[in-house]
Amino acid sequence: MAERLTLARPFGPRPELPVSDPGTALAWICVLVGVGLGLNALYLWQVGRRVVSETETAVPGPVGPVKLWGNLLRLTVLLLAIFFILAIPGSIALLILGAIAATIAALFLMLALSLVFFVIFHLVYTVPGIVQLRQPPLQALRDSIILARVDPLGTTSLVLALLVISQGLNFIWTLPDPATWATVVGIAGHAIVSTALTATVLVFYQERLVQLQTLQRAYTALSEPAQDAAQAAHSHADT
């Protein structure tokens, strides 16, 4: 509903909260982001526990909602810091290129958007790592990059499926007039589909994690005889 710029809703006009100055607006943004992440932590905690229970996968599952909330807050701060570190010089470069030639600026913007998609593609498993493996944000980011590089085709298929299903159905949910009761049906449908997609990402992550562990064990099993042979040859040469 946040994407629909309207105050109409089935329960009457939305309540408004007047903001007098930028400082108050910034304070409300911080409060609402914190509350929203807290609700997300509670939601992911419930979904993660159910996924572990249904799949019977050997993963620890999510920690308590409070600790999970702290990890999500740290992840948000980390991503915002990375965004501003990259966005500020990128914006300056775009302004300079725009003053030189609009075509070069458009090309630079396309490359920047491609880079953003590339980064998002590699970070798709970050939240599942925090939820299902109880990883801190930096470790979850690192493992997400590794899993995305190990299985780029599967990750691409997952991202495209999520975008097509979520955005396609969101278009359908938002067709009714916001002031009608059909909007309530759209909100409920969006909640059900989004929960199914969230569970799908967690299950997909767990399966890819098992595959990665299998590959690591196979690599270890193959490398051990070679290491033993090299050590034996080295010992024989010393003798």
Higher pLDDT, 9 or 132: 132
Average pLDDT over residues 136-164: 88
Report the half-sphere exposure of 182 (CA within 13 A, side-chain side): 8
Q: Mean pLDDT over residues 93-120, rounded?
A: 79
Domain boundaries, the chain: 151-227
pLDDT in tens, 40-51: 999 999 999 999
User: Distance between CA atoms of 178 and 10, rounded to whole angstroms?
Assistant: 7
- The residue among 39, 3, 9, 44 whose CA lies nearest residue 170 is 3
Cα(92)–Cα(43) distance, rounded to whole angstroms?
A: 39
Interior angle at CA 183, CA 14 and CA 198, nearest 5: 100
* 41-50, 134-143, 206-215: segment of lowest average pLDDT: 206-215
Instruction: Work out the end-to-end distance of the chain between its first and last CA atoms, rounded to an integer number of angstroms.
Output: 77
What would the pLDDT profile of 43-89 be if each residue is shown by its tens digit?
999 999 999 888 887 788 888 999 999 999 999 998 888 888 877 88
Rg (CA), the chain: 24
Residue 109: which of 120, 124, 121, 96 has the closest Cα? 96
